[in-house]
Amino acid sequence: MLTIQSQSHPYSVEPFDGLDAALVSVSTGGVKCHYLIDQAFADLYADALAEVVATGRVVYVKASEEAKQFDSLSPVFLSLLRLGLKRDGLLVVIGGGVLQDIGCFIASVLFRGLRWALLPTTLLAQADSCIGSKSSINIGPYKNQLGTFYPPHRIMLVASTLHTLPADEIRSGFGEIIKLQLLTGEDGFRELMADCKEVPPRDPSLLHKWVLRSMAVKQPYIEADEFDKGVRNLLNYGHTFGHAYESASHFAIPHGIAVLLGMLTATFVSARVGLVPQEHFEELCGFLMPWCHPYQNILLGLPVESVLTAIRHDKKNTGEVINCILTRGFGRMEKTPVSLADVLAPAITSFIARH
């Protein structure tokens, strides 16, 4: 079990083998639980959730970008209040990133801050997003522009639910797992690659191992910089380019795979400006490209101009010099200002052309 420090409260990250044990653990202890559950997960795990459902204190949400709209939250708040959620209750959120965003936002503003527990069900949520406090909510055409910093009071990582995930979701989850190991240094990255003889791996105990390893890497970043004003920026390694690929492809590329392609782009740019030898980029390509399959083909169809426009519009960038996280090698990432026209445009053009 990890304990993570945060400005609002410390919180625990507890591993569980099975869903039943996690649900029993959270619902005992005298506090009245209400549940916010991803509809697709509830359909898949109806039997395991039967006792929870029997309480009548459940609200289901169909995960989508639309569900993350500010206006979509109103009926969720009202359902929870009508079902009797009180300020001394506990909101238990079960689902992936969308449910986490909605649950975090609701818990942070209901009664000016309600206790909540999170049971992340996707690999991406388990290995990365579940810690770090952030929620992101959409308003009209503005994506992820609303949000709060409000970690759950408890996070339960259940190994057994990972086996029902589709292969693409596992690849996508590994995008962030690989990123965290690249941030931590060469040994972790090589151990991870050696573990993954099958791409993507499906063995739940292997997935669970790398979920826990990811938490351990991410923890010091978010504890040192909860509000993302300094060292935590490094966790965005691969994200400036990844977000642009996601956006320019109209989200045809899953997030974690876009991050993998983004990290390769960042390494390619780093080699171009002389921060790393070209061989480092080539070696990483050999490791990471199999994880991107077949989405790297989508890159080829993207107009470079639409990728550059997306980079310009990224909320973290203003002007024609872009702050990118570049790399000097394993574990040596750093924020570097790069000219969009002189460096990024030709580098991205070359990167896309070679895949």
- Cα Rg, the chain, nearest whole Å: 20
Shorter beta-carbon distance to a second copy: residue 149 or 285: 149
The distance of closest approach from Cβ of residue 142 to a second copy in the complex, given in angstroms and rounded to an integer, is 5
The distance of closest approach from Cβ of residue 62 to a second copy in the complex, given in angstroms and rounded to an integer, is 20
Shorter beta-carbon distance to a second copy: residue 88 or 342: 88
Please state at what angle helix 70-82 crosses helix 97-109, rounded to 10 degrees.
Answer: 70
Contact between 105 and 135 under an 8 Å Cβ cutoff? The reply is yes
What's the rounded Cα separation, in Å, for the pair 223 and 229? Answer: 12
What's the rounded Cα separation, in Å, for the pair 269 and 278? Answer: 10
At 22, is the secondary structure helix, strand, or coil? helix
Secondary structure (DSSP) of 151-190? --SEEEEESGGGGGS-HHHHHHHHHHHHHHHHHH-HHHHH
The distance of closest approach from Cβ of residue 230 to a second copy in the complex, given in angstroms and rounded to an integer, is 15
Q: How buried is 126 (Cβ within 10 angstroms: 0-12 exposed, 13-18 middle, 19+ buried)? A: buried
| Site of interaction with a second copy (CB under 8 A) | 7-8, 70-71, 73-74, 77-78, 81, 86-88, 105, 108-113, 134-135, 137, 139-140, 142, 145-149, 227, 315, 318
The distance of closest approach from Cβ of residue 147 to a second copy in the complex, given in angstroms and rounded to an integer, is 4
Q: Which residue has the tokens 């426009």?
A: 309
Angle ∠(48,52,56) on CA atoms, nearest 5: 140
Contact between 333 and 234 under an 8 Å Cβ cutoff? The reply is yes
The distance of closest approach from Cβ of residue 99 to a second copy in the complex, given in angstroms and rounded to an integer, is 18
Shorter beta-carbon distance to a second copy: residue 78 or 216: 78
Shorter beta-carbon distance to a second copy: residue 149 or 306: 149
Shorter beta-carbon distance to a second copy: residue 151 or 200: 151
The distance of closest approach from Cβ of residue 281 to a second copy in the complex, given in angstroms and rounded to an integer, is 33
The distance of closest approach from Cβ of residue 74 to a second copy in the complex, given in angstroms and rounded to an integer, is 6
The distance of closest approach from Cβ of residue 174 to a second copy in the complex, given in angstroms and rounded to an integer, is 27
Residue 68 per-residue DSSP state: G
Shorter beta-carbon distance to a second copy: residue 149 or 280: 149
Gap between the terminal Cα atoms of the chain: 42
Shorter beta-carbon distance to a second copy: residue 74 or 297: 74
Q: Which residue has the tokens 């400036």?
A: 240
Tokens standing for residue 127: 């290995």
Shorter beta-carbon distance to a second copy: residue 64 or 145: 145
Residue 125 per-residue DSSP state: I
Residue in 253, 285, 282, 266 with CA at minimum distance from that of residue 328: 266
Residue in 220, 223, 247, 218 with CA at minimum distance from that of residue 235: 218
What's the rounded Cα separation, in Å, for the pair 312 and 123? Answer: 30
Shorter beta-carbon distance to a second copy: residue 213 or 232: 232
The distance of closest approach from Cβ of residue 136 to a second copy in the complex, given in angstroms and rounded to an integer, is 8
